[in-house]
Structure 1
């Protein structure tokens, strides 16, 4: 009788060894054959007649004028109404709460919530450290926390009162 030394199982093809082992993964297909020569670029273009050139310049000027008017209108809308604003930041994170809603930023990630998108805003202070945490809860049961490190533990109370003033002013207005 013959006996085999070692394992009787066969080695598996895995993605670490063979990327083709992943089902549904296919190699990219080139859109053009490699031996195809690109079309030559024309050396000279015909200059448009003077009338067409003048019409093109007028169209460009009209577009520029309409863009400046369109840009001027949003500036009028962005004028902030009188009211409390909460802003706190450290070297990595930033929180701004004002008439438009709450904006959170951490490193290069940012998110913005309008007041009608917010279900609750929760604050928490660390017991021994200087971290102040603001968590925005949405109605669809998601939450977005941001921690800010204060320069002094006494700054937490100041931030709490500023944020409460903003929440009392704007959050209660949009509540159903």
Structure 2
């Protein structure tokens, strides 16, 4: 009678155990071993390249500095809580949540929708684009009375800067 030494089970394979199982899901493996440090890493250690969030924050600071010089005397809507922020002015609508941010010029916006909850203090603003995508953000208000004030301010900005395309009538 023959006996086997070791485990009789085969190792599991698949994307659940090895992400490299699916081609293109992970970056290709370089031919270097873990012990050797790539030449790019040595050069990168000498020069600091900013990460995406650092670059975005630096760009936002630069645009705020230059915007201070060029700002027209139009209405501005700004609402923020501890995590989220929305700014609507002559440049467009800017949304940010934690470390993520996006900006829409007025020509990229199809509609801006607001929603006040029946209960609670989370005010929702949704930016719709012409290609049928939408980007919602919730701002927590200090009190429910802020909802009416925010609606009025956003309406004033929309009336000033947002131009609806004329619809064709037969």
TM-score range for the pair, normalised by the shorter chain length:
0.5 to 0.7
SS state of the match for residue 155, structure 2? helix
> What is the total number of aligned residue pairs between the two structures?
129
Structure 1 residues 138, 31: CA separation in 2 closer, same or farther (over 3 Å shift)?
same
Matches within 5 A, 1:1-176: 13-15=12-14, 19=18, 22-24=21-23, 28-30=29-31, 75=66, 79-172=70-163, 175=165
**TM-score scaled by length of structure 2:** 0.64
Is the CA contact 1:14–1:21 (under 8 Å) kept in the aligned structure 2?
no
How far has the Cα of 1:140 moved from its partner?
0.4
How far has the Cα of 1:28 moved from its partner?
1.9
Is the CA contact 1:13–1:21 (under 8 Å) kept in the aligned structure 2?
no
Is the CA contact 1:135–1:144 (under 8 Å) kept in the aligned structure 2?
yes
Structure 2: runs of 5+ lacking an equivalent:
1-8, 40-61
Larger Rg, first or second structure (1 or 2): 1
Is the CA contact 1:137–1:144 (under 8 Å) kept in the aligned structure 2?
yes
Describe the superposition over 1:103-131 as per-residue Cα deviations: whole angstroms up to 9, x where unpaired: 00011110000000000000000111011
Structure 1: runs of 5+ lacking an equivalent:
1-9, 39-70
